Amino acid sequence: MNVGLTRRQFIAGSAVLAGAAIVPVIAQSQFFDVPFVPTPQVVVDEMLRLANVTSKDLVYDLGSGDGRIVITAARKFGARATGVELDNHLIYQSEESARQANVLDRVKFLQQDFFKTDFSDATVVTLYLLPAVMKRLRERMLQLKPGTRLVAHDFDFDDWRPDVKTTIRKNVFLWIVPAHAGGRWQVRAGLPGGELVFDMELRQKYQELDGFTRFDGQPGGLWEAKLEGDRIRFVVVDGRDRDNEATLYLEGRVSGSTMEGDLVRGVGNQQARFKWRAVRTGDGPPVKK
């Protein structure tokens, strides 16, 4: 514990003196020095809890150190887990701990530079890396399957805001890899009075969405738009009939160049539910980053 505190001060120092070669600990990548600072067990538990890890998950820990996150994911959460670590000695130690915890059949440790690892089959990725490394990984993370959960502590992805942040001793962050929803779409829904058709333009920055709609060419609002993995929801107001404006609540899933889901019109006991579908009609403005 005392050692941990010393290392903690150390990491703060090395973050300030970016890339300082004085760090007498393990380099994770040939380009970025990542010191080995073990995550306290209570924070490991919180990271895996926040990511809602279950036995269906495949967890990758990038810079797995002594293997504690990988072993905890397997032992307490029943997941399969892979640790990626550059240091041979730590890999050996991890395998020994996994043997003792009786989870060798569900864990794997790869001795390599995680910038060279293919972790595209991950459903959860855990990270405890310095800001420069996080920033360099961000683009690759965005290429993972929509819905993949990323958890980190202490350091975040800069302007990619976490979907959830909790503080249990340390700040712990959760991001859910968003689907690509930005662009122009045409939305159709079969309503009792005939088919509803409107155009929609979504602007996307990570999981954040805004945009506007056109009903018969007439501009309309788009409100409360949210993206969580491939799940999308938003509210539109059909204002063509000024005396009978309708708020429509849409929820659904994005899959490539289509979306579909449920549309709710009206509130309280006036509420009615319909199906909607959208097709991408254009790319829209470039994604803001």
Partner 1 sequence: MSSASIVLRSALCGVLFLAGAAAGFPTSARAATLDIPTPYVPSTELNVDEMLRLADVKASDVVYDLGSGDGRIVIAAARDWGARGVGIEIDPKLVAESRERAQRAGVANRVSFREGDVLKAAVSEATVVTMYLLTPLVARLQPKLLAELKPGARIVAHDYPFADWKPDRHVRVSKNFYLYVVPAKITGKWQLAVPVGGAVREYELELSQRFQEVSGGARVAGGYLPAFEARLAGERIAFVLVDDNTSYRFEGRVSGHAMEGEVRWGAGPRQQQSTWRATRIVGVGEG
Binding site for partner 1 (CB under 8 A): 40-42, 45-46, 48-49, 53-54, 72, 76-78, 166-169, 221, 223-224, 235, 237, 242-243, 245, 247, 266-270
Using the minimum distance from each CB to partner 1, give the nearer residue, 190 or 221. 221
Phi/psi zone of residue 274: left (φ > 0), alpha (ψ -120 to 50 degrees), beta?
A: beta
Task: Give the shortest CB-148-to-partner 1 separation in angstroms.
Answer: 19
Starting at the edge strand found earlier in the chain, the sheet holding 107-111 runs 107-111, 80-85, 58-62, 124-127, 149-153, 170-176, 164-168
Tell me the β-bridge partners of 150.
Answer: 125, 175
Q: Least distance to partner 1 from the beta carbon of 214, Å?
A: 16
Question: Closest approach of Cβ 27 to partner 1, in Å?
Answer: 29
Kindly give, in sequence order, each residue whose CB lies less than 8 Å from that of residue 285, ignoring residues fewer than 6 positions away: 182, 203
Could you tell me the smallest distance in angstroms from the CB atom of residue 5 to partner 1?
15
**Of the two residues 43 and 134, which places its CB atom closer to partner 1 in the complex?**
43
Nearer to partner 1, 78 or 147 (CB): 78
For the four alpha carbons of 28, 34, 36 and 37, in that order, the dihedral sign comes to: negative
Closest listed residue to residue 76, CA positions, set 103, 58, 94, 97: 103
> For residue 8, how far is the Cα from the chain centroid?
26
Nearer to partner 1, 117 or 166 (CB): 166
**Shortest reach from residue 201's CB to partner 1, in Å:** 18
C-beta closer to partner 1: residue 190 or 266: 266
